[in-house]
Amino acid sequence: MIAVFAPGQGAQSPGMLSPWLELDGVREQVAAFSEATGLDLERLGTTADADEITDTAVTQPLLVALGVIAAEQLGLADAEERVVAGHSVGELTAAAVAGALSPVDAVTFAGRRGAEMAAACALTPSGMSAVLGGGDPDAVAAAIEAAGLTPANRNGAGQIVAAGALDALEAFAANPPEGIRAVRPLKVAGAFHTHFMAPAEQALGSYAETIDIADPHPILLSNADGSALTSGRELLARLVRQVTLPVRWDLCLATCAHLGVTAAIELAPAGVLTGIAKRELKGVELVAVKTPDDLDAARTLVASRPQHGQGEHTPDFRVVVMPSKGVFTRADALDEGTKVDRGTQIGTVRTNRSEEVILAGASGVLDEWLRHDGDIVAAGLPVARLSSGTEAS
């Protein structure tokens, strides 16, 4: 199985669109995207400087435009046995690759998303910082939360990004917990994937009502929890909620490993996700599509993987998430491999005021515990993964 990855904000670079405009039909496609978004994407992708394309309102539609152009040049619609996933705004690119959104709708959505997130950033001073070192990712995430911040990106390969109010980030950097080597501020407009983006989520909720969406086909992984989505309506709802929920790219990669992915292609502007995959998906063949010169290598990779007819590997993954922030405890005698029914108690969450039962929202096999007893877990984050299958012997 081949995975197709779409990068998110931070992957952009000046002039990244220039070589693609030499391909047949691309200039016209960019013109259509520009008309739909009200942005001169050709200029932004060719002659604009680094500062201009770092603007959230510009970066997001530009990234998605380039991603869908690269995907169409690869002819990925013919590769049935694949899984697609996008990091942050890259999930809109993934939605287009999976046929859930048209390319124009994906780019337009990215334009609206970027504008609303930029507006939300202007309301309160906030930011993001890369947390370097620290060892166990769960321990690092717990330390970030204890500092009043959010682990907004958990990317795998030891990469975790903290987000929140600027004063809290500065205090965290000045006195990092033991084991954390450094806390490095990122050049972003604000605290993406946190409650600071609530105004953007509300605005996108209204906008999403105007969007036509189909069911993703064959497999699209949600970067909220790594689960495989089969419903277009659920995908659309997640695309809205995504701006306030942390990105769990580590769980997307875990799902890829579970599916038996043997090769992965990162769409332009590639590099960041390929670097993470080298460390997290050992033995998987990787191609980073940075320019049109890389298309032949990606096409060769697709052609080298036999197509056995779709549906054979389409999983039905679901996750159980925390209803509120608190201390998680697993249910007694519930081991991995056990079949659970909808409504089965998975565990409890203890807050300062009460203890709440966590229930399975669907039937399936408890495929993997994602949290340990005593972990402090934020609301909306996964604690267990359920999958279809047979009970382990």
At 65-90, the pLDDT tens digits run 999 999 999 987 555 568 999 999 99
Q: What's the pLDDT at 80?
A: 57
Q: What's the pLDDT at 105?
A: 97
Whole-number Å distance between alpha carbons of 95 and 212:
12
Residue 369, domain CATH:
2.40.50.100
Whether 117 and 243 share a structural domain: yes
Whether 110 and 141 share a structural domain: no
Range 322-325 contact pairs with CB under 8 angstroms and sequence separation of 24 or more: 322/349, 322/358, 322/377, 322/378, 322/379, 322/380, 322/381, 322/382, 322/383, 323/349, 323/356, 323/358, 323/379, 324/349, 324/351, 324/356, 324/379, 325/145, 325/349, 325/351, 325/376, 325/377, 325/378, 325/379
Whole-number Å distance between alpha carbons of 261 and 275:
16
Whether 157 and 293 share a structural domain: no
Phi, psi of 190 (to 5 degrees): 180, -170
Respond yes or no: is residue 88 known to be catalytic: yes
Whether 282 and 208 share a structural domain: yes
Question: In the listed set 281, 304, 327, which residue is the last one of a domain according to the structure?
Answer: 304
Average predicted confidence (pLDDT) for the chain: 90
Q: What's the pLDDT at 310?
A: 43
Q: What's the pLDDT at 95?
A: 97
Whole-number Å distance between alpha carbons of 271 and 251:
19
Q: What's the pLDDT at 380?
A: 63
Burial of 312 (0-12, 13-18, 19+ CB in 10 A): exposed
Q: Which of 88, 222, 227, 387 is labelled catalytic?
A: 88
**Mean pLDDT over residues 52-67, rounded?**
96
Give me the residues paired with residue 376 across strands: 327
User: pTM score, two decimals?
Assistant: 0.83
pLDDT tens sequence across 364-391? 899 889 888 999 887 667 788 887 654 3
Q: What's the pLDDT at 321?
A: 78
Task: Determine the straight-line distance between the first and last CA of the chain, rounded to whole angstroms.
Answer: 27
Q: Does 266 fall in a domain?
A: yes
Where does the pLDDT of residue 392 fall: very low under 50, low under 70, confident under 90, or very high at 90 and above?
very low
Whether 163 and 221 share a structural domain: no
Q: Which of 34, 87, 129, 193 is labelled catalytic?
A: 193
Nearest Cα residue to 80 out of 93, 99, 67, 65: 99
Question: In the listed set 243, 271, 304, which residue is the last one of a domain according to the structure?
Answer: 304
Q: How far is CA 66 from CA 71, 112, 299, in A?
A: 9, 17, 17
For residues 86 and 223, is the Cβ–Cβ distance under 8 A? yes
Looking at the predicted structure, is the pLDDT value of residue 313 above 60? Answer: no
Whether 202 and 290 share a structural domain: yes
Domain count of the chain? Answer: 3
Percent of the chain with pLDDT over 90: 70
Selected residue with higher pLDDT from 303 and 221: 221
Question: In the listed set 304, 326, 346, which residue is the last one of a domain according to the structure?
Answer: 304
Q: Residue 171: which domain range?
A: 126-185
Q: What's the pLDDT at 364?
A: 87
pLDDT tens sequence across 343-368? 899 999 998 888 999 998 778 899 88
